[in-house]
Amino acid sequence: MLTTILRTAAGSAPSVTQYQVFRKLGLRVVAADADPLSAGFLFADAAYSMPLVSSPRYFDALVEICRRERVDWILPALDEELLTMARRRTELEACGTRLLSSPVSCLQTCVDKCATHAFFCEQRIPTPATWEPGSDPLVGFPVIVKPRRGRGSTSVYIARDTNELGFFSGYVRDAIVQEFMTGREMTIDVLADFASNPLFIRPRYRLSTESGISYKGAVVDHPGIIRWVEKIVRTLGLIGPANIQCFVDGNDGVWFTEINARLAGSVALSFEADPSFPCALVKMLNGGSPEPAIGPARPLIMLRYWSEVYVDPSQVERICTRL
């Protein structure tokens, strides 16, 4: 019998590629999203339209999907879901479903950018100056104002003077202020085993982004960054897939900014550059013990484009089950 996984956020741009990869590697994929017209539904073995994470009905619907489809594993795709699922892990396990995710203590550090910054400072990991609005500025302008919690580039603004800082700090809900970093932005895709040993660490440059999603990227080998990421994974206790973001300046200095305890939206590039990466993830889900990667991934550049899928109006109600 095939291992069944539930991967949420079927309406997100990266979902289709991930569903295709997982199915090609022998998994049965159940898709879920609040939008009944999510494109990812058409590339899964079963699909469900369920309440938003903010709804009081969300978790009950999640459990119902797991029971109906006999889901073996859940791969959360949204930051908003991580703590909700992890805090109720035993309820999921009661219906036979395991959660491939880091423990609650680890997630609490990842989803809160102030806690992430504090972790970096405690571990002496290079990171931009970060402070709460109203505190004395730690650096000069420009600075970045962004939500303390959240994903992507939503509500992220550059403040170039005191007036703009005051405006954006009031406009962005639960804002933090961060040193503006120059240089190249990088995402490091990670897979860690159940003992928080890093199996794969694959750095890639984000060459072009839109709404926080990389549309052009390049796989690179950077031993210095890999050593830092190994420390982050082991010290924080990450389990399963994650992605870590940093900036690399012109002098090869590295400044870490975020830890996301889930698959990145553009992990497809790392999967393609090193096919053993998704194979190892699937092996974990199938109860195996993958070996750590040896050597770097092959150099590769990703260029993304839009693609379409068409549905007859008469088929719309049959695309997914509504909960």
| Residue 240 pLDDT exceeds 90 | yes
| Residue 260 pLDDT exceeds 80 | yes
Q: Mean pLDDT across the chain, nearest whole number?
A: 94
Confidence of residue 189 (pLDDT cuts 50, 70, 90): very high
More confident residue, 197 or 156: 197
* pTM of this prediction exceeds 0.85: yes
Give the position of tokens 């070996």: 291
Q: What is the pLDDT of residue 1?
A: 86
Mean pLDDT of 78-102: 95
Using a pLDDT cut of 90, give the percent of the chain over it.
86
What are the tens digits of pLDDT across the range 115-131? 999 999 999 999 999 99
Cα-based distances in Å from 276 to 167, 196, 283, 312, 313? 47, 19, 10, 38, 40
Q: At what angle do helices 79-87 and 58-69 cross, to 10 degrees?
A: 80
What is d(CA 242, CA 240) in angstroms, rounded to the nearest whole number?
7
| Residue 92 pLDDT exceeds 70 | yes
Mean pLDDT of 91-110: 97
What is d(CA 179, CA 158) in angstroms, rounded to the nearest whole number?
10
What are the tens digits of pLDDT across the range 210-234? 767 788 999 999 999 999 999 999 9
